Amino acid sequence: MIGKLYLVSTPIGNYDDITIRALNILKSVDFVICEEFKEARRLLSHYQITKELVSINEHNENEKDIVNDILLRLLENNSAALISDCGTPLFSDPGHLLVEVCISQNIEVIPVPGASSILPALTGSGLDIEKFYYYGWLSPKKDIRKQQLQRLRSLNEVVVIMDTPYRLKSLLEDIVKVIGKNLKVVLAFQLTMNNEKFYRGTAEEILSIVSQNNMKGEFVLLLNLARSR
């Protein structure tokens, strides 16, 4: 007998957005693999769940010793849940090597769907989302980020971009400079939280709002590069 690895989606902000299945799995597994101990302890404590935590994050996810230790425990019939700090694991988050190794060793990997910031941002945007292009995180280096935006200009889709809260203003500044001030954008800000809000307008208009209000928070930015279909 060998254990299973569950990829458990957790809330992106509002703790009510967890599924019953996710809660049951978090209660039943032998240990939980998380990004940061602090975030994981806060989450589990909210649901009154106590579990041993093992951390896999951007700094150590490729260290073979950590992955091998987890692998051995799974092969010894221990089951684990992999969670990210919020949302769906592996989506712009660590854990890919672990999943790859588990699959190679015939350990069952079971995704447990749940909260994600991308679909709420798209469905609440008011844009035509029959087709969209997920780009994810741009480079933190300004010159490279501008090159990436330059390449995105040629797309004929709604483009989904994510980044850290403190880069929202500089990201919008680069979009205005590279793609244009009149580009239609939608800023989905603090999704699922009490101060959730959608800002719709040109890149220049949204930049002005962000600058005037010194806005910093979790966000998804949609660029409407789609031409008439």
Predicted pLDDT at 182? 96
Where would I find the H helices in the chain? 20-28, 37-46, 64-75, 96-104, 118-123, 142-152, 168-178, 203-212
Cα separation, 195 vs 189, whole angstroms: 8
Q: Strand 158-162 and strand 219-224: pairing?
A: antiparallel
* Count of structural domains, the chain: 2
For residue 229, pLDDT over 50 is answered with no
Looking at the structure, do residues 178 and 104 belong to the same domain, yes or no?
Answer: no
DSSP-assigned states of every residue in 150-176: HHHTT--SEEEEE--GGGHHHHHHHHH
The answer to whether 132 and 159 are in contact (CB under 8 A) is yes
23: nearest Cα among 120, 114, 100, 95: 114
Examine the fold and report which residue of 57, 90, 112 is the final residue of a domain before the chain moves on.
112
Query: Per-residue pLDDT for 181 more than 80?
Result: yes
* CATH code: domain of residue 15: 3.40.1010.10
Compute the 3-state secondary structure of the chain and give helix, strand, coil in percent, each to the nearest 5.
35, 20, 40
Please report whether residue 131 resides in a domain: yes
Mean pLDDT computed over 164-182: 95
Rounded Cα distance, 48 and 158, in Å: 40
Contact, 30 vs 79, CB < 8 A? yes
Task: Answer yes or no: do 18 and 101 share one domain.
Answer: yes
What is residue 58's predicted lDDT score, i.e. its pLDDT? 80
Which of residues 55, 86, 112 is at a domain's end? Answer: 112
For residue 53, the cross-strand partners are: 32
Contact 126, 96 (CB under 8 A): no
With respect to residue 75, please indicate whether it lies within any of the assigned structural domains: yes
Residue 202, pLDDT score: 97
Say yes or no: 141 and 84 in one domain: no
127 & 108 share domain: no
Separation CA 150–CA 140 (nearest Å)? 15
In a 3-state reduction of DSSP, which class is residue 80? strand
Residues 106 and 133 in one domain: no
Query: Which of 112, 140, 167 is the endpoint of a domain?
Result: 112
Determine the pLDDT at residue 65: 86
Dmax (CA) of the chain: 59
**Does a structural domain hold residue 173?**
yes
Range of the domain at 32: 5-112
Mean pLDDT of 138-152: 94
Q: Is residue 179 in a domain?
A: yes
Q: Please name which of 79, 102, 92, 95 lies closest in space to residue 35, comparing C-alpha atoms.
A: 95
Cα–Cα nearest to 160, from 137, 191, 135: 135
Report pLDDT for 155.
94
Q: Are residues 59 and 148 in the same domain?
A: no
Q: Is residue 152 part of a domain?
A: yes
For the entire predicted model, the pTM comes to: 0.89
Q: What is the pLDDT of residues 58-97, one digit of tens each?
A: 888 777 788 999 999 999 999 999 999 999 999 888 899 9
Same domain, 85 and 12: yes
Is the Cβ–Cβ distance between 159 and 152 less than 8 Å?
yes
- What confidence score (pLDDT) does residue 111 get? 97
CATH at residue 189: 3.30.950.10
Whether 89 and 49 share a structural domain: yes
Residue 83 covered by a domain: yes
Task: Clarify whether residues 83 and 179 are in a common domain.
Answer: no
Q: Same domain for 67 and 21?
A: yes
Give residue 27's pLDDT band: very low, low, confident or very high (50, 70, 90): very high
23 in the same domain as 104: yes
Give the mean model confidence (pLDDT) for residues 195-200. 97
Contact 139, 33 (CB under 8 A): no
Q: Decide if 39 contacts 89 (C-beta within 8 A).
A: no
128 and 216 assigned to the same domain: yes
Q: Does the residue 229 lie in any domain?
A: no
